[in-house]
Amino acid sequence: MMAIVAGETEGRALTSARERDSVGGAWIRGLTERDLDRAYRLAGFILGDATEAEDAAQDALSRAWQSRGSLRDEDAAQAWFDRILVNLCRDRLRRRRHVRWLALDDSMPASTDPFARAIDADEMLRGLGALDADHRIAIVLRYWADLPLDSIADRLGVPLGTVKSRLHYALRDLRRAIEGPKER
Amino acid sequence: MDPNESLDQGVEARLRAAFQRARVPASPPSLRARIDELAAEPARHRSPRRPAALLAAAAIAIVGLTGASLLVGSRPPAPTPPSPSRGPSSPPSSSPPVIVPWVDRPAAQYVAPTPVPFPTDARPCRASDLKVSSGPSGTALGNFNLRIDFLNVSTSACLLRGEPTLAGVTAAGKAVPLHATSGGYFGDPGPPANIAPGERAAVNVGGAVVCDSTSSRRAYEVLRISLPNGGGPIDLRLAPLETPCGGVSVSEFGVPALAEPTPEPSISPMTARIDAPPTVRAGTTLSYTVTLSNPSGADVSLVPCPSYTEAVGSGSSSRWVGTVRYYELNCDTIHAIPAGGSVTFEMRLALPKTQPTSSDVKFTWYLQGDSGPFAGAPLEIVSGP
């Protein structure tokens, strides 16, 4: 007997616990190299540190695997995983208490970390170091991951208005960071 | 137009360009290895609410929640490897057919055996039956857990089932309800079961340890635990309990000694490999093969004949189509995968016309749920005929 055919019923919520387990498990197992690159780079741009990005992505995979039974619908899988990853990155940033990847002083030795180096090498990205964790995450989700505002709100678990507000203030702070004292 | 708006648009455009220009590395191989490692773990937990293995596996920092000497959870024992099982008519290793033909034998979705429930027919425990103490505690991945143990000091078995209600008792003796949420990150300490005299049940009390600067905490030296079913309150002195930011969570009562699940299907030693064409048209049947290899020193029986799952998913986050089928393997002539050998099976998967075209398709195959071998392969779906 054919137990489940999701082919023609996109977005169908799977009901039994076992089905949910298979949906989440299958989704994680089916992650392609491109998916993993995306997760790693998302964490890398948020954290600015390749080692921490690798740790965060590993933790996110573990956390997602442990809670794979909670994924009811493959439509929501990417947002579900992003939410886990972003939350872990936010925890790391807050524990860090200060921004490690801000290198405004040109006399500082160039970092060997590939994310820190890429960020330090660009004036715009360097300005991200002036932002707090929530603002930086919003910027990376919007302008690197290219997500629409409602998708960002879904991933962050905040209202749409909060996303707009964070982006507004993040862009203002970025502009000030780039333009320097003349704006202040 | 607000001048800041046009300035923002300029910054937005420069940001997008900067991100595009940034040269950052691809993901390290450890991420793929992590997926393989996770998928290879046997399903230890019957409920996703009980990720005790995660607690044990994570780097655990001991926190001074009780002021007592704290015990860090230990990793559950390694899974028992599958018993070498030999099918009653295992073919000789040297004569497997080249490709075992596909059979159209749809199967029910694989369901792991249901664990045998523990007896729960004893009378409800009352506070006077119990001696309470703080058990092991620790933190993992930003969450803390304090286990509270209840020793049955009465002369007959009793049952703790459901969740307690919690209150913090101030120095002035006032009980402040903690309004704990059900569940919690570490799940239940074990399944519910009768507690014989001299045995223990427990609950997990937890919460997040990572707070932002606006979170407030209160510290209590006495935790008042009100038992379900009118069992009455029982006090536990702590030194001191700091309420976590974001509120307290509480699990259901369970018996930690029974936390090890009843045996679930042993993890298979086999590996699977998909050989598939690089492209398939939506609305046609994808024909491919799966090779099951057995690197172990013992034959792996295919009696009873296992089922498999094949799944193809494609589309975007706004329109995702997953095609999932369950079939029995063709065990008509193959009753075991020989030690050190492999067998290749023909597979077919009919894709609907509505399967979205994509070059980034999730294509997976796995045998018998989470405990079996699995494989994935790249696949591109092109427009139908």
Per-residue pLDDT at B23: 85
Find out whether the peptide bond into B29 is cis, omega within 30 degrees of 0: no
CA nearest B235: which of B164, B185, B158, B181? Answer: B164
Closest of A13, A30, A18 to residue A74, by C-alpha: A13
pLDDT at A44: 94
Is-contact A174 B11, C-beta < 8 A?
yes
CB atoms A1 and B351 under 8 Å: no
Does the beta-carbon distance from B48 to A66 stay under 8 Å?
yes
CA A115: distance to chain centroid? 14
Q: Look at A114 and B25 and tell me if their CB atoms are within 8 Å.
A: yes
Nearest C-alpha of chain B: how many angstroms from A97? Answer: 10
CA distance A3 to chain B (A): 5
pLDDT at residue A96, as a whole number: 62
Give pLDDT < 70 ranges for chain B: 1-9, 41-97, 109-116, 138-143, 184-186, 208-219, 239-247, 260-267, 317-318, 369-371, 384-385
Q: Find, in chain A, the residue whose alpha carbon is nearest to that of B364.
A: A30
The per-residue pLDDT for B56 is 29
AA identity, residue B381: I
Residue A151 to chain B, least CA–CA distance (Å): 10
Both tokens of residue A38? 């995306």
A175, B210: Cβ pair inside 8 Å?
no
Residue of A34, A46, A143, A151 to mutate for B, most B C-beta atoms under 10 A: A143
pLDDT at residue number B142:
59
Q: Is the dihedral of CA B77, B81, B83, B87 positive or negative?
A: positive
* CB nearest to B11's CB, from A2, A39, A171: A171
pLDDT tens sequence across A136-149: 999 999 999 999 99
Q: Give residue for tokens 């027919």.
A: B121
Strand partners, B226: B165, B233
Chain A hits for B38, CB-CB cut-off 8 Å, are 28, 61-62, 65
- Residue A101: CB atoms within 10 A of its CB come to 24
Contact A144 B355 (CB under 8 A): no
Taking an 8 Å cut-off on Cβ atoms, the answer to whether B18 and A122 are in contact is: yes
- Using CA coordinates, name the residue in chain B closest to A169: B8
- The fraction of chain A above a pLDDT of 70, given in percent, is 76
Distance separating alpha carbons of residues B375 and A39, to the nearest angstrom: 21
Greater model confidence, B313 or A14:
B313
Listing DSSP states for A131-168 in one string gives: S-HHHHHHHIIIIIS---HHHHHHHHTS-HHHHHHHHH
DSSP A106: T
Q: What mean pLDDT is predicted for residues A162-182?
A: 81
Per-residue pLDDT, B41: 62
Report pLDDT for B66.
28
Helix (H, G, I), strand (E, B) or coil at B139: strand
pLDDT value, residue A182? 47
Residue B254: half-sphere exposure toward Cβ, Cα within 13 Å: 23
**Which residues of chain A make contact with B278, given a CB cutoff of 8 A?**
none
The dihedral sign for the CA sequence A120, A124, A129, A134: negative
- List of residues 6+ apart from A1 with CB closer than 8 A: B106, B107, B108
Q: Which two tokens stand for residue B149?
A: 């143990």
Q: Do A47 and A98 contact (CB within 8 A), yes or no?
A: no
pLDDT at B209: 57
| Among A181, A138, A140, A142, CA closest to A157 | A138
Task: Choose among B159, B265, B43: nearest CA to A21.
Answer: B43
pLDDT of residue A104: 35
Sign of CA dihedral A140, A146, A152, A156: negative
CA distance B79 to B111: 19
Mark yes or no for CB contact B27/A36 under 8 Å: yes
Scanning every residue of chain B, which has its alpha carbon at the shortest distance from the alpha carbon of A97? B212
CB contact under 8 A, A33 and B26: yes
d(CA B216, CA B214): 6
How high is the pLDDT of residue A53? 92
B24 contact residues in A (CB cutoff 8 A): 41, 44-45, 114-115, 118
Give me the pLDDT at residue B59, please: 26
Q: How confident is the model at residue A11 (pLDDT cuts 50, 70, 90)?
A: very low
Q: Higher model confidence: residue B59 or residue A27?
A: A27
Q: What is the ipTM of this complex?
A: 0.81
As a whole number of angstroms, the distance between CA B5 and CA B268 comes to: 59
B19: nearest CA partner in chain A: A144
Give the pLDDT score at B44: 40
pLDDT score for B185:
64
Specify whether the CB–CB gap between A74 and A12 falls below 8 A: no
Q: Which residues contact A139 (CB under 8 A, 6 or more apart)?
A: A128, A131, A167, A170, A171, A174, B15
Task: Give pLDDT tens digits for A61-107.
Answer: 988 888 887 777 888 889 999 999 999 898 888 766 433 333 333 33
* Residue A105 contacts B, CB cutoff 8 Å: no
- CA–CA separation, B82 and B103 (whole Å): 27
